[in-house]
Structure 1
Amino acid sequence: MFEQGMTRLHELMIILYAVSVLLYFLDFVQRNQKANKIAFWILSIVWGLQTIFLCLYMYNTGRFPVLTIFEGLYFYAWVLLTASLILNKLLRMDFTVLFTNVIGFLIMTVHTFAPIQVESQAAAEKLVSELLLIHITMAILSYGAFSLSFIFSALYLLQYRLLKMKKWNERLWRLGDLGQLEKLSVVLNAMGVPLLLLSLILGLVWKTIKLPDVSWFDLKIIASFVLLFVYSAFLYVKVRKGLSGRTLAWINAGAFLIILINFFLGSRLSTFHFWYS
């Protein structure tokens, strides 16, 4: 009964999510404040439903839901949606909300229609520990920060192209200032790097205690450190070398591809996260 109710709730969220993204896209194509406001309130409803689901799931399972890829995808989508709503209220950057929630919608769709792997959840129950929960939660939060940073870099590249083509229209101004877009992408990466570093430290401690037989050269471990190195290098060339502009934005876009590979492919090929697949 609980699972059936949650399935219906997910289907409703997917429909509302799709309507909201379409309305934001309508506002993107042609200035439409009414569509923008309706889209924002629909997204707020989706956030409320997602939060209710998280609370019900935690009540039903008795733990924080991040131990399987099924749960991790959901929490990742919730983090993106929460951040986009906060950014929309604080900065009034509507297009940021649009692109952020395109990613969130795709993640929610995969989460909703992918088959639930019972064996993975059963294994996860045996591996519950506070250390593991904190490790995974911090990793997903860092991925959320990196995802938003990528969106700001993508908007930077779009804005730069429009300026170079001398397309002076209202859409150009609504994308945001180039300096502000670059600054936000850097700030978000500066938040994501320490979160990822702490997550890796906790993960390695947990591995040493719980999975001593797993190789230190496991694909997931290597890919995570590569990801940490790339984003640290991003901050280094920005702060120490003064790199900026399109080159920095393209580096950020490339780093985000590593996130996708690490999150989806790395987890499936890893023996370290054998329950997280």
Structure 2
Amino acid sequence: MLDNISLMRLNEFMIILYALSVLLYFIDFLHNNRKANRTAFWLLSIVWILQTIFLFYQMFINGRFPVLNIFEGLYFYTWVLITLSLALNRFVRVDFIVFFTNVIGFMMMAIHIFAPSNAVSAEVSSQLISELLLIHITMAILGYGAFSLSFAFSLLYVIQYNLLKKKKWGKRLIRIQDLAKLDHMSYVLNVIGVPILLLGIILGVIWAYIKLPDFHWYDTKVLGSFMVIAIYSFYLYSRIVKEWQGRTVALLNIASFFVLLINFFLFGSLSRFHFWYS
């Protein structure tokens, strides 16, 4: 028989695999990357196998089908979504449906894992909530890191562009990478950063609902975080749909980073709860 801590670790492992799968499906969604799609499919398959084992384990120890409360229902709902996603990906190939379905599934699974329930002790529930906060902060920082590197590449792009335009040949021009590579790297980092930050925000909202009695959607930090996601999503939209290129999209990326800094320093300090972690 598995104890509560072992079950908690298993669920945490599943949520990490699920997050990686969603990230790879997002990359495939943007670039029609079949390798990313296949890897996401196999990661999702592993999550499904672990979920199925856990589902039957719960049936065995409880002597019933585990859907009698909201937390059990969320878990079964997530299992159904993943099952349908795998079937669609395997037989129908509706890739975009699979991606968006799994964003929903990830949210439901995170709520199931990290929301306290009567099935676990108060100590384990408290630890889960604390670890949810830790994962939220870690994913947000990783997303911010990707955006910071993307900003650096865009800044180098603008510098190199101006040097070429003014025909200032020299060692500085040679040492900076060519424009195409700088542009590509800034774009790739944003493709990585957007889903990571989005997943981190989702986990943060779940934590706030669980932990804070006075959580409000109109809090400055909440609004600022969604504004950051919105402007970087607009960057991706401009790049992929509108096919913006060159200096224009580099300047948009630089402006997006300044919005991120405003959110991090100004909106964070104005937030009613964001630094009240306990």
- TM-score category by the smaller chain? 0.5 to 0.7
Once the two structures are superposed, what CA deviation does each residue of 1:156-185 show, in whole Å capped at 9, x if it has no partner?
000000001101112102110000000000
Residue 221 (structure 1) aligns with: 222
The verdict on how the C-alpha distance between 1:250 and 1:226 changes in structure 2, with shifts beyond 3 A counting, is same
Residue 151 (structure 2) aligns with: 150
- Taking the aligned partners of 1:227 and 1:212, their CA distance within structure 2 comes to 25
Residue 170 (structure 1) aligns with: 171
Q: CA deviation at 1:128?
A: 6.5
TM-score (norm 2): 0.53
Residue 212 (structure 1) aligns with: 213
- Taking the aligned partners of 1:168 and 1:267, their CA distance within structure 2 comes to 43
- Taking the aligned partners of 2:211 and 2:172, their CA distance within structure 1 comes to 53
Q: For 1:237, what is the secondary structure of its paired residue?
A: helix
- Taking the aligned partners of 2:202 and 2:222, their CA distance within structure 1 comes to 11
Letter in 2 for 1:168: W
- Taking the aligned partners of 2:276 and 2:214, their CA distance within structure 1 comes to 15
Q: Percent identity?
A: 58
Please list, as runs of the form range in 1=range in 2, the aligned pairs for 1:119-198 lying within 5 A after superposition.
Answer: 129-198=130-199
- Taking the aligned partners of 1:235 and 1:143, their CA distance within structure 2 comes to 16
TM-score (norm 1): 0.53
- RMSD (Å) for aligned C-alpha atoms: 1.8
Report runs of 4+ in structure 1 exceeding 3 Å deviation.
125-128
Contact 2:129 2:207 in 1 (8 A): no
Q: For 1:160, what is the secondary structure of its paired residue?
A: helix
- Taking the aligned partners of 2:204 and 2:176, their CA distance within structure 1 comes to 38
1:273 is the counterpart of 2:278: no
Letter in 1 for 2:273: F
Q: For 1:241, what is the secondary structure of its paired residue?
A: coil
Residue 203 (structure 1) aligns with: 204
The answer for unaligned runs of 5 or more in structure 1 is 1-124
Q: CA deviation at 1:274?
A: 3.3
Q: For 2:173, what is the secondary structure of its paired residue?
A: helix
The answer for unaligned runs of 5 or more in structure 2 is 1-125
Q: For 1:159, what is the secondary structure of its paired residue?
A: helix
- Taking the aligned partners of 1:126 and 1:217, their CA distance within structure 2 comes to 28
**Which of these two proteins has the greater Rg computed from alpha carbons?**
2
Residue 241 (structure 2) aligns with: 240
